[in-house]
A and B are shown apart, each in its own frame.
Chain A
Amino acid sequence: MKVKTIALFAAAVASAAVSGSVLAQAKEQFIGLPSYRVGPYAAGGSGIYGGWIDYMTLVNERDGGINGVKLTWEECETEYNNARGVECYERLKKKGATGNTTFQPLSTGITYSVLDKVAQDKIPMVTIGYGRTDAADGRVFPWVFPMITTYWSQATGMVKYIGQKEGGLDKLKGKKIVYLYHDSAFGKEGIPVLEKQAAKHGFNLKTIPVAHPGNEQQSQWLTIRQERPDWVILWGWGVMNPTALKAAAKTGFPREKMVGVWWSGAEEDTVPAGDAAKGFTAAGFNVAGTNYPVVKAIQDNVYKKNKGNMEDKSRVGSVYYNRGVVHGIITVEAIRVAQEKFGKGKPLTAEQARWGFEHLHIDAKRLKELGAEGFMPDLAITCADHEGSGKVKFQQWDGKAWKVVSDWVDADKDMVRPMIEESAGKYAKEKGITPRDCSKEG
């Protein structure tokens, strides 16, 4: 009896494997999703991957795929753990008819862990708003795309926004800004560029670390009270954000004078802080809300047919969800661009998809066609510049929802770009990489 069950199970496994490989022969483009839906960062993971999957479902349902090539995907649970992320990377690598198209782990740790592997395996890695900053130098990192904006660009954008609020960047002279950061590689990322900004604009910078996870910030806010800064930049992650907002309220520091990084600017960061979050402003490369044609299209074509990925439908239109839609748009558009070069309606290899990412150009007109005007910034990736935009928008929490309070704010590219090139050059030297000559790239 027992043997029989085992034999039946084995047969089932075998047949599933066979049928899987038959299906893969169809006109399909496979995208491996190293998602995380459990653990402390599950809110971000489920929102972003949910939005991304919904956008791909929309493309399949409404347009019948990209020029007839249907998108397929498979999730792999990383638990935000580097070792599991590497396992997912290896597992997803060979799936689908043409292999995994792109790898986007939504974790800086996993990004570092597979950085060398993607170049060997020729799979483009797109890290939107996280990951290794100096990878924006595409000459040294041909396979990595830290798109839209890096932490360094964003930090300069925040200074610019603060300058605007003060009535001009020249007014920053003599002002005091506190940089309250998550004490990790992620948190320290902002310091070098802010120090340079402080020297350039003449403001005082005071950096205050918060130990992970950041649910204890009394001493930090005591220091802030003594320092009496004009602004606080909150570079937080997870539970650190609502704690900071509550502590600010207790200390009496005006929330209007606090500017957050994009990992501090989601509903999950402000709602737990309750009223204390009111007035808090955060940067973001996408905005919240359902009031955009692309989100409406998802609601009409995906959720009305009951094919949506989000269990909690009220999260459609949240910051994380919309960020997932941005991931979807960028991935789909890159595949479209690559198809134009390598054959419309044909599944692409990852190497061909990389060409698409490198020649991705989403201008204002294309954004309008996609229904994403004002939803995300315009984007132009080149061989040398894998960042492509550097713009952020600022949103303010009004107690119930995020409201856009600025236009797209440009980064201080004159300062950031040389820093990126210097850091990438150092990496190239260490690893013995000869940077590509971009004038020779097609």
Chain B
Amino acid sequence: MLYREAGQFKTSYAADQQIFPIRQDRIAIGLILVVAALVVPMVASEYWIKAILIPFLIFSLAALGLNILTGYAGQLSLGSAAFMAVGAFAAYNFMGRIEGMPVLLAFVGGGLSAAAVGILFGLPSLRIKGFYLAVATLAAQFFIVWALTKFGWFSMDSSSGVITAQEIQILGYRFDTPISLYLLVLTIVAVMALAAKNMVRSSVGRAWMAVRDMDVAAEVIGIRIMHTKLLAFAISSFYCGVAGALYAYAYLGTVEPEGFNLDLSFKILFMIIIGGVGSIMGSFLGAAFIVLLPIFLDVLIQDFLTGLLPPSISSNLQLMVFGGLIIFFLIVEPHGLARLWQIGKEKLRLWPFPH
């Protein structure tokens, strides 16, 4: 009913190859963007914007970065948080050391620095695969956090390795209210998500997927393995780096290297596993699940169960319910929430004639 495509004929190659071939999808995406950009700033409270929406968008971007690497190019990585840290610290250094540095350029610089580090730590992927590669990227995770703590140069010699983000100013406009920060993050995330969507539809993305599915076969048909894998590492780290810079500049304001620890890397990995490996939309769904659900559970428990349960049990209950839900979703749909949505959409498109 919702997805009746009757009458939507594609008469040109451009129409056939567009990102959202179904008109309803185009309308839905347009509506979501309009709501996110215009309605949300008007109705959402400061709490929603600062504590929920901004981190949700930033983590979505980080998950998107990992999804490019793991979901599309098939290279398992446990270093996403470290690449975020590189992005944050590099952006901070660009801003602090270069007089009059435009902040957006500093974000790009942060992303490029992360990409460079990503290529470096992606080199082992040319030789090792699967879980062994995960262990190699684990080295990146520990080494980068260690280096940022160890060498004062990275934090411009702050006494304890902690950096405080400079204020964001673009063309003379100061981004200091929650709404302006939210719109900035939303713009960056939307543009980068669109770029990612196009990338995975292009020859680059097809090369990644070929390498993911069988690298020997990919090599035989003429895909340059080294080039493809390192490109995946670079672009993935670029996304994580920009996410890290936003995490420092638009969300927390002050960050320490320890904040980008292995836990965060795992969290981003869980986001794409729950959301859907190899899906742009899955990155957003997964980030929503991992970031928002624990908060929702905590609010629910604090509001309804305080006093009924001993405090340590109510805190642990959240983790139990959260873990239980993860298992539930993985059993119901091992390919993640995005796949669940896809199945639903297929059914809707055929409805009411399933055969």
Q: Say whether A associates with B.
A: yes
Bound form: Cα–Cα A108–B162 in Å: 11
Bound form: Cα–Cα A91–B162 in Å: 25
Q: Which of chain B's residues 258-315 have a Cβ closer than 8 Å to chain A? A: 258-259, 263, 291, 294-295, 298-299, 302-304, 306, 310-312, 315
Whether A91 contacts B51 by the Cβ 8 Å rule is yes
Whether B298 contacts A311 by the Cβ 8 Å rule is no
Taking each of B258, B298, B315, B318, which has the highest tally of chain A beta carbons within 10 Å of its own beta carbon? B315
Q: How far is the CB of B168 from chain A (nearest CB, A)?
A: 13
Whether B161 contacts A75 by the Cβ 8 Å rule is no
Q: Which residues of A contact B146 (CB under 8 A)?
A: 183, 211
Whether B160 contacts A189 by the Cβ 8 Å rule is yes
Q: Confirm or deny: A352 has a beta carbon within 8 angstroms of a beta carbon on chain B.
A: no
Whether A133 contacts B51 by the Cβ 8 Å rule is no
Contact of B51 (CB < 8 Å), options: A37, A49, A86, A112: A86
Whether B302 contacts A75 by the Cβ 8 Å rule is yes
Query: At the interface with chain B, which of A77-85, A170-178, A372-380?
Result: A77-85
Whether B258 contacts A38 by the Cβ 8 Å rule is no
Whether A84 contacts B294 by the Cβ 8 Å rule is yes
Contact string, A69-93, partner B, CB cutoff 8 A, digits 1/0? 0000011110001111011011101
Whether A91 contacts B47 by the Cβ 8 Å rule is yes
Contact string, B157-176, partner A, CB cutoff 8 A, digits 1/0? 00111101000000000000
Q: Confirm or deny: B216 has a beta carbon within 8 angstroms of a beta carbon on chain A.
A: no
Bound form: Cα–Cα A188–B146 in Å: 13
Q: Which residues of A contact B159 (CB under 8 A)?
A: 133-134, 188-189, 192, 423
Given A76-B298, A189-B160 in contact, is the A86-B252 Cβ separation under 8 Å? yes
Contact string, A338-373, partner B, CB cutoff 8 A, digits 1/0? 000000000000000000000000000000000000
Report whether over half of chain B's contact residues are helix, strand or loop; otherwise say mixed: helix
Q: Nearest residue in A to B178 (C-beta to C-beta)?
A: A90
Q: How far is the CB of A40 from chain B (nearest CB, A)?
A: 10
Contact of B255 (CB < 8 Å), options: A37, A112, A184: A112
Count class of interface residues, chain A: 35 or more
Whether B318 contacts A77 by the Cβ 8 Å rule is yes
Bound form: Cα–Cα A89–B298 in Å: 13
Q: Which residues of B contact A429 (CB under 8 A)?
A: none
Whether A431 contacts B164 by the Cβ 8 Å rule is yes
Q: Which residues of B contact A211 (CB under 8 A)?
A: 146
Q: Which residues of B contact A82 (CB under 8 A)?
A: 252, 255, 259
Q: Confirm or deny: B203 has a beta carbon within 8 angstroms of a beta carbon on chain A.
A: no
Whether A311 contacts B255 by the Cβ 8 Å rule is no
Whether B149 contacts A37 by the Cβ 8 Å rule is no
Given A37-B311, A86-B252, A113-B255 in contact, is the A93-B160 Cβ separation under 8 Å? no
Bound form: Cα–Cα A89–B295 in Å: 12
Q: Confirm or deny: A18 has a beta carbon within 8 angstroms of a beta carbon on chain B.
A: no
Bound form: Cα–Cα A431–B167 in Å: 9
Given A37-B315, A38-B319, A430-B164 in contact, is the A87-B254 Cβ separation under 8 Å? no
Q: Confirm or deny: A228 has a beta carbon within 8 angstroms of a beta carbon on chain B.
A: no
Q: Which residues of B contact A185 (CB under 8 A)?
A: 149, 160-162, 256-258
Given A116-B254, A184-B258 in contact, is the A74-B306 Cβ separation under 8 Å? yes
Enumerate chain B interface residues (CB-CB to A < 8 A). 46-47, 50-52, 55, 146, 149, 159-162, 164, 251-259, 263, 291, 294-295, 298-299, 302-304, 306, 310-312, 315-316, 318-319
Enumerate chain A interface residues (CB-CB to B < 8 A). 16, 20, 35-38, 42, 46, 49-50, 74-77, 81-84, 86-87, 89-91, 93-94, 108-109, 112-113, 115-117, 132-134, 183-186, 188-189, 192, 211-212, 309, 311, 423, 427, 430-431
